[in-house]
Amino acid sequence: MKRLLTALTAAVIGFGAPALADLPDILSAGVVKIAVPENFPPFGSLGMEGEYVGYDVAVAQMIADDLGVELELVPVTSNQRIPYLETDRVDLVISSMGANPERAKSILFSAAYAPFYSGAFAAPDVAVSTVDDLAGMTVGLTGGTLEDLALTDMVPEGTEIIRFGDNAATLAAYTSGQVDVLVTGNTVAAQLAADNPDMDLETKFIVSDSPCFIGVKKGNWELLQWVNVFILNKKLNGSLNALSQEWFGQDLPPLPTL
């Protein structure tokens, strides 16, 4: 079984040997270093047994398995993702990273491998499928978030938006029945569902969409091509859908390619 680094090992991995270059080098050395989220469940976080777990961690393990090499996880914060790739501390970044033109000046991006979006969530019997259906309903969200800024200009007259100071207060309002509809990120909704197994929560519509892409160092075209084929294969055989069900509580939605 491929090795996942323990918390102690992961803490010092940044001081080890540099990551490798393109695909042939990784295959020759028999190891791939992959950056994953340090603390961003359900994409990646430290588990109860001292190993990192989450959607991104599982994808990283599948990549190592398909390459036939050992996996070395490198937990990173958001602002470390691109610098670690540029300075050869890692070979790949699988850390809930969105693609945009500014980031694309520095690194290459794969096809999307995971959903990340802000959406409206409610029980199955709540008749909402579009933003227009929010008329007459009470919507809870965290003030100042991207979903707050996006939704405010979208809702029809008669919608009551209640803004809370943080995610914990927003979630508490929904679980207590103070609001009819919860508007938040899909990962927050997934964690709420996981923490409340008896709660039936479903996605009603997407407010803003920002799927996740795998980061590859500029110039590593063979590795990028391999990663894209990997993602395509895992979509077709259902592996990514199974991970989406496990970590997000929903089927994998259609994802863009580049």
Please name the CATH architecture into which domain 117-209 falls: 3-Layer(aba) Sandwich (3.40)
Domain ranges of the chain: 7-116+210-248, 117-209
3-state class (DSSP) for residue 246: helix
Task: Indicate if 117-209 has the same CATH topology as 7-116+210-248.
Answer: yes
pLDDT at 65 > cutoff 80: yes
Superfamily of domain 7-116+210-248: Periplasmic binding protein-like II (3.40.190.10)
The larger pLDDT score, comparing residue 79 to residue 122, is at 122
pLDDT at 108: 97
pLDDT in tens, 244-258: 999 987 899 899 998
Beta-carbon contacts of residue 185 (< 8 Å; ≥ 6 apart): 116, 117, 118, 119, 147
pLDDT in tens, 120-160: 999 999 999 999 999 999 999 998 887 888 888 899 999 99
pLDDT in tens, 184-228: 988 888 888 888 888 889 999 999 888 999 999 999 999 999 999
Residue type, 191: Q
Beta-carbon contacts of residue 217 (< 8 Å; ≥ 6 apart): 21, 85, 86, 88, 91, 107, 108
Enter the pTM of the model: 0.76
pLDDT in tens, 97-111: 989 899 999 999 999
56 vs 113: CA distance, rounded Å: 9
pLDDT in tens, 20-40: 569 999 999 999 999 999 988
